[in-house]
Amino acid sequence: PSGAPDNPLAGLYRFKKGFGAEFTEFIGDYDLPFSPVRYFLWQWGMAAYEKYLNYVKHKQMGQEEN
């Protein structure tokens, strides 16, 4: 946020600063599950899906090399 020249967003920072913008840091995001069981299943399912996509991606890359 200091506008350091080596930062990839330095130009954007200077542009917005020119309009009088101020840097504000927010708390971030968090999950508040209403149903712990459904939340657990969702998290588990997403992790399994990402592993599957990674497997398929690497399998396709292996076929392209042959």
Q: Is residue 28 part of a domain?
A: yes
For residue 37, the Cα-to-chain-centroid distance in whole angstroms is 25
pLDDT at 38: 97
SS3 17: helix
pLDDT at 21: 81
pLDDT at 33: 93
pLDDT at 12: 85
Q: Is residue 38 part of a domain?
A: yes
The model's pTM: 0.49
Judge whether 10 and 4 are in contact, CB under 8 Å: yes
pLDDT along the chain (66 residues), means of 10: 74 86 85 94 98 93 72
**Total tally of structural domains belonging to the chain:** 1
Q: b/e for 14-52, b at 16 or more Cβ within 10 A?
A: eeeeeeeeeeeeeeeeeeeeeeeeeeeeeeeeeeeeeee
* Domain assignment of residue 23, given as a range: 10-65
